Amino acid sequence: MSEEIENPKEEEEEQEQEEEEEEAAANEETFDEGPTRLQALKLKAAALGLKHSPNIGEETLAEKIHAHEIANSRDPLEKTQSMLAAQVLKPKSVIAEPADVSPVERVIASRVRAVAPIEAINKKAPRVSDLPSIHEILLMDKYDIMAYPPKIQTRIIRAKQRYEQLKLLRCQIFNNNPAKLDLKGEILAVSNKYVGVVKKFVPFGEATEKGYHIPQILYDMMKRKKYQRVYIVKNDNGTDRVVQTMAPEYTITILPQLTSEELHELAMRQAAAERVSA
């Protein structure tokens, strides 16, 4: 009859394994005893008197509780910022505006609704009274202008365009179009969205030898303007051929601006001319 020999080392390993399993089971039971975050949120919602679906998700319930707390807050700024943040993150049809939002808060929200991320909500937007000076406007690029509200953008662009396009240039102007050789000058007009209509009589030839001032916007238009030049050339066989080309209608030379002494002298001459004509 053979006897079984027990190995004390194996018995100790089995006993340690059983103890580890019992400890793990105890830890799981202890963990299961505490409520989950969803359960805690449901308890909080019940305490606040909020109704929700039994199958509501954890994040949805958390947002609902947060919205209820903000709606019942006494701080109007916090209430308005919360409403704006919700409208940035969700479609308008999903968001229900709190019933106790004041008219002032509703106007504030409607002006900046869904136009920027949440980080931009707390950023101070430029006001009408914050319109920069003309020196600052001239240094702006399109990205600097886009940082302002749309109405302020229009005012900035208009101020920039008017300053640059209505700047006067001292020029000598000569007409190249044979059809206008008998004209002493011409009334020219140009317009755009921001500057409006600029209309001016522009003389040609000798009247501009000492310089005649025209706005930048008229100068640009006159430099682009062309006329159809028609002339005859001889072919190799001696026959005539009519050639038509587009040529610049005006020859314009920009002169240096008048000095302060020259401006004073010009003013004196103009004043004297007015006294004689009177």
| Confidence check: pLDDT of 94 > 90 | no
110 pLDDT above the threshold of 70: no
- Does the pLDDT at position 44 exceed 60? yes
Range 176-182 average pLDDT: 90
Query: What pLDDT does 3 receive?
Result: 45
Please state, rounded to an integer, the average pLDDT across all residues of the chain. 76
| pLDDT for residue 92 | 43
> In the predicted model, is pLDDT for residue 80 greater than 90?
no
Q: Can you tell me the distance from the alpha carbon of 68 to that of 96, in angstroms, rounded to the nearest whole number? A: 11
Tell me which of 70-84, 110-124, 172-186, 211-225 is least confident.
110-124
| CA separation for the pair 164, 125 (Å, rounded) | 27
Mean pLDDT of the 234-249 span: 89
227 pLDDT tier (thresholds 50, 70, 90): very high
pLDDT at 255: 93
How does pLDDT run across 11-32, given as a tens digit for each residue? 666 777 776 666 655 555 444 4
For residue 231, what pLDDT is reported?
Answer: 85
pLDDT score of 190 = 93
pLDDT on residue 109: 55
User: Directed axis angle between helix 103-111 and helix 76-89, to 10°?
Assistant: 40
- Answer with the residue of higher pLDDT: 62 or 252: 252
Band of pLDDT at residue 82, cut at 50, 70 and 90: low
Residue 219's pLDDT band, with cuts at 50, 70 and 90, is very high
Mean pLDDT calculated for residue range 114-134 = 56
Determine the pLDDT at residue 249: 94
Residue 91 pLDDT > 60, yes or no? Answer: no
Q: Is the pLDDT of residue 81 over 80?
A: no
Mean pLDDT, to the nearest integer, of 227-252?
89
Whether the per-residue pLDDT at 108 is higher than 50: the answer is yes
Over pLDDT 90: what percentage of the chain?
A: 24
- Specify the pLDDT at position 89: 43
